[in-house]
Structure 1
Amino acid sequence: MSSVPGAAAAATEELAPVRASWRPTPAHTRATLAGLGLVAVAVMWRRPELLVFGTPLLAVALWGLLTRPEADPVVVAGARHLTLREGQATRWVAEVGPAPGVEDVGLALMPTPFTEYEPAVREVAVSAGAGEEPLELAVACRSTRWGRRVLGPAVLAVSGPFGAYRWAPDVVTTPPVTTVPLPDHFDARVPVPRPDGLVGQNRSHHPGDGGEFADIRPFRFGDRLRRVHWPVSVRTGELHVTATHADQDSEVILLVDAMHDIGLSQGTGGRSTSLDNAVRAAGAIAEHYLRTGDRVGLHVLGARELPAVGSAAGKNHLRRVLDTLARTRSADGTFADEKRLRAQLRHRVPSGALVVVLTPAISSDVLSHALALSRRGISVVTVDTLPPEIARPDVDPVLLGTVIPQAAESPDAAGLAWRVRLLERAHEMRRAREAGVPIVPWAGPGTLDLVLRDLGRRSRAPRVVSR
C-alpha cells in the first residue's frame, strides 16, 4: 500500500476465496463447430478449398481440448482495507496461485460512486510466466466521500492455452467499505460552560483538587500539608494553603439533522451538501472534545436503523462515533420519517450537558427542539450547515434541482418557492436567536469560541427556566 497515494493505515483484511470451474469459451465452441462443419462439407461435396479453411480451425480446437487445464487455480480476491477515511485509498486485489494451464488473467471492476481509480479504465490483465510465483492484479480505489459503499462488483477471468477454456465466476463481490468522515480542523479554546463530571480538564466553578490556582486561604482541618503556602504562612504567622479549582469533565451531545441533504456533493476538495457539512463538523467536534477527556454522545435525527450513541469518552468511542456518522443516510421525506423524528426528539438530555445541533434549518421541528432545550436551562449551540451557495435567492438552477426535484419543469415557480422558504427560514432563525439560541455557520477552528464564552457568562447569571 505504500505505493498508493493516501493509502489507509488500517490493518490489511484477509482476501476471500473465489470458486468457479473451467468452461469452454465461445471462441473454442465456434472453432470446433466451424471446423467440423467445413471438413464434413468438403468431404461430402468434394470441395478441397473448404478443407483448407476447416482443417486449421479443427486442429486448433483439438489442440485446445488436449491441453485443457485439469486443476482449478487457487484464487482469492477482495479489498485490502474495509475502513478508510475520506481521501484515503485501498486496492481491490485478485491473487491467482500458480497452476498448470494458466496463461492469462484479467480483472475488470465496475464503477462505484465517489471513488477514483488507478488505472482509470478499472481494467488490468497479466500473462503467466514460467515461474512459480502467484499472479496479482490490483486496481487502486480512492474514496472521496464518507459512507458505506461496495467496491465493484468485479469480473475476473483466467484463460488457458489458445483461449479455449476459461475459469471465470459470475461476479465477485466483497463486503462494503466504510469511509469515515475526515473531520475538519476544529479547536475550541473556551471550555464548556458547565462541566459536571468527576474528572477532566475543564475548570469547575467550585473549589477542589485541581491544577488551576484559585486563592490563598487560612489552613482548615483536612487540608493537605503539601498545599501549605510557606511564604504567606511565614509572613503572617499562621498557616495558609493554596486553593485550586476542581477539574471536571463535561458532556457534549451532538444532534445531526439528517432529514434533508441539500446541495451537490463532489467529495473531498469539491462542493459539499448540508449533510456533508454536518457529518464532518460533528466528527471534528467529537474528535476535539474526546481528546480533551470529555464525554460525547451522538443522535442522528431522521436516520433509519441508526441507533443513538451514548455519551462516553476515549479513542474507541471516537471510532464508534465516526462509524455511526459514516452510516448516516438522509431521510426520504415520508410520514414515517417525520414520525421517527418526533420519537427521536424525546431523547434525554442531562442538565449540565452542552448540546450542539447541526442542521440546515430547513426542518422547523429541529429548531423548535433546540429552543425547547434552551428554555429548560440547557446550553444549546446551533450550527448552520446549509451551503452558502444555496442559501441565496439567486441560486444556480443545477443546485436548485437538488432541493426541488421539479425545478427543471418549472424553474420560475421553483425559484419563487425557494425564495419564500429562505424567508421563512430567516424568520425562524431570528426568533430562535431572540429566544437565546445562538446560531453560527460552520467555519472550522474557533467556530464555537465566542458562543461558548457567552454561554459561560449566561450560565453563571441567575435566570428562570421552565421544567
Structure 2
Amino acid sequence: MRPAALTALLGVFLLLTAATFDGEPLYVVGVAFVLVALLASGWVLLGGLGVRIDRDLSARTALEEQPVEVRLRVRAGLLPLTTGTVQEPLLAGPVVLAFGRREMRLRIAATFARRGRRTLEAPVVVLRDPLGLAVRTVRGAAPAEILVLPRVLPVRSLDGAADGGVLSPRAGRARIAAEVELDGIRPYRPGASASRIHWSVFARTGELYERRLSADADARPLVVLDARSGPAED
C-alpha cells in the first residue's frame, strides 16, 4: 500500500479514536494526517496531467562502440514540471526533473558493446511529492529497437608491409595461405604439430616422419624444355 494511503488511514484511525474516547488533541493530529495525504496525492495527480516524454534516436543501426546520439524531451502538461526523476535505460541513473519548467531536454551519447538487435525499454517519468508519500509514473512511447553491427577492422600482416602494415590481397595471399597440398614426407622436426606426423610410415618403420605440405597459393606452372635433342626434320 502506498505511503499516502497509509497516512490517510492513520489519520482516520486517530479521528475515530478521538471520537470514541473523547480525545480532543487527537482530532488535530488526525485531520493533519488526512490533509497531508490528500495534498500529496493531489500534487502528483495534477502534476502528471498531460506530461509527455519522447525519445529520438539519431540512427537505427550502429557499429560496436560507435556512439549514437539519443535525445529525450520531457514536456509539462497542465502545470509546470513538479518534483520527480527521469528514468532511461541508457542513463547511468535517474535524472532529477527541472522543477518549475515547461520543458526539459536531455542528450545521451550511447554506445553498445555487443552486436545484435537491442531493445530499449520506454523512458519513464516518476513524479513524487516533496514528502515522498505519493508516486505517479508516466511512461513514454513504445520500446525502440537498434541494430548493432560488428566493427570492420583492416587486416594486417604479421611482419608489416610497405603501405603501413595493411595486407594487400596479392602480397598477403602468398604469406598466409593455408598449406593443404601434400608435397612429400621428411624426418620429424621437434616442435612440429602432431597433426603433420605420418602415422602409417611410423607404423612401418618405427621412426617419426612428418608430412611436407605446400600452399595452393605457392603453386606455379612449371615448363621443362629438353634441349639435348637436335632440331626435328620436317
Give the TM-score of the pair, scaled to structure 2: 0.57
Cα distance, 1:126–1:35 mapped onto 2, change above 3 Å? same
Deviation of 1:100 (Å): 2.1
C-alpha contact (below 8 Å) 1:122/1:139 kept by paired residues: no
Q: Could you tell me the percent identity over the aligned residues? A: 14
Q: How many residue pairs were aligned?
A: 189
Letter in 2 for 1:124: V
- Equivalent of 1:48 in 24, 27, 39: 24
- Give the corresponding residue for 1:178: 148
Are 1:104 and 2:106 counterparts?
no
Deviation at 1:437? 4.1
Aligned-partner residue type, residue 435 of structure 1 = L
Instruction: Write the deviation string for residues 332-363 of structure 1: whole angstroms up to 9, x where unpaired.
Output: xxxxxxxxxxxxxxxxxxxxxx9x99xxxxxx
Q: Indicate yes or no: 2:213 matched with 1:435.
A: yes
Give the structure 2 partner of residue 272 of structure 1. none
In our comparison, the structure showing a higher alpha carbon Rg is 2
Displacement of 1:175: 0.9
Secondary structure, aligned partner of 1:50? helix
Change (3 A) 1:159 1:122: closer
Judge conservation of contact 2:14–2:27 (CA < 8 Å) in 1: yes
Is contact 1:83–1:180 with CA below 8 Å preserved after alignment?
no
Structure 1, residues 268-298: CA drift from partner, whole Å, max 9, x if none?
A: xxxxxxxxxxxxxxxxxxxxxxxxxxxxxxx
Distance 2:146 2:6 in 1: 39
Seen in structure 2, the aligned counterparts of structure 1 residues 140 and 161 have a Cα distance that, compared at 3 Å, is same
* Alignment partners' CA distance in 2, 1:193 and 1:185: 10
| Partner Cα distance (2:51, 2:106) in 1 | 15
User: Within 2, Cα distance between the matches of 1:45 and 1:170?
Assistant: 51
Q: Which amino acid aligns with 1:181?
A: R
Whole-angstrom CA distance in 2 between matches of 1:148 and 1:124: 28
CA contact (8 A) 2:84 2:97 kept: yes
CA contact (8 A) 1:89 1:142 kept: yes
CA distance in 2, matches of 1:146, 1:427: 37
The one of 186, 191, 206 equivalent to 2:170 is 191
SS at the partner of 1:166? strand
SS of the residue corresponding to residue 84 of structure 1 reads: strand
> How has the CA–CA distance of structure 1 residues 105 and 76 changed in structure 2, closer, same or farther, with 3 Å as cutoff?
farther
Q: Specify the SS of the correspondent of 1:435.
A: strand
Structure number having the greater helix percentage: 1
Task: Say which SS state the counterpart of residue 20 (structure 2) adopts.
Answer: helix
Q: Is the 8 A contact 2:64 2:148 kept in 1?
A: no
How far off its partner does 1:135 sit? 1.6
Pick from 88, 96, 99 the counterpart of residue 125 of structure 1.
96
The alignment partner of 2:221 has SS state of coil
Counterpart of 2:167, as a letter, is A
Q: Which runs of 5+ in 1 are unaligned?
A: 1-24, 111-116, 195-353, 358-366, 376-422, 439-454
Runs of 5+ consecutive residues of structure 2 not aligned to the other structure: 157-165, 183-190, 199-210, 224-234
- 2:111 alignment partner, SS class: strand
